[in-house]
Amino acid sequence: MKRFTGTKGFICLLVLILLVVGYYYYLSNRQIKAKHEANVKLTDAQELLLTNFEVNYPPTPKEVVKEYLEFTKVLHNSDLTDEDTEALAKKIQEIYDTELVNNKSEEDYLKDLKSELISFKNNDYSIVNYYTSSSTEVNYFETDGYDCASLYGTYNIRTSSGTQVLSNIFILRKDEAGRWKIYGWQPIENEAPTVQ
């Protein structure tokens, strides 16, 4: 075997050293970048947008209403771009019954939602927290051949004059895949649901 000597040997040795140093630099920067990416905190809106309802659909009517309440809290309390607002508005429709979704055009739905959000912010309201009926207080029934359920969803809203309680009764209906979908809701006047 012929040994490298002189200029050729020096160049080969230099290339090997550069390759080793370059590989070491690559590995160390990759680990730093991975640590930095692991420390990045997602916003509440980003976390909700990453929700995969195809894989992790809420199993009970109570959990579906909790998802709705969380989406509503984030929509009303966060400073969102129009794109994020529209993305969250579309995402929340994944837990709506198809009849509810088809009740309004997408344009009217977004227009009404944005108007509601502007009014909420102009009045300086914020949703402090929310809760649902306990699991034992979910009312199950059948209507027109559909399995249905009803339960309360309640918000505590901070206003300039104190705290206001807003309660709704939610109606859910099981779809063909056995998933509970929000069929509709209605405000409840002067009736406080049981807190869990």
Q: What is the DSSP string of 9-58?
A: HHHHHHHHHHHHHHHHHHHHHHHHHHHHHHTPPPPHHHHHHT--TTTS--
Q: Does some domain include residue 31?
A: no
Write out the chain's pLDDT in tens, 196 residues. 455 567 777 777 777 787 777 777 777 677 655 555 566 788 899 999 999 999 999 999 999 999 999 999 999 998 899 999 999 999 999 999 999 999 999 999 999 999 999 999 999 999 999 999 888 899 999 999 999 999 999 999 998 888 999 999 999 999 999 999 999 999 987 544 333 3
Compute φ and ψ for 128, nearest 5 degrees.
Answer: -80, -50
- Residue 119: which domain range? 44-188
Domain assignment of residue 183, yes or no = yes
Tell me how many domains the chain contains: 1
Residue 78 lies in a domain: yes
Residue-wise burial string across 86-107, b where 16 or more C-beta atoms lie within 10 A, e elsewhere: ebbbebbbebbbeebeeeeeee
Q: Is residue 117 part of a domain?
A: yes
Classify residue 29: in a domain, yes or no.
Answer: no
What CATH number does the domain containing 65 carry? 3.10.450.100
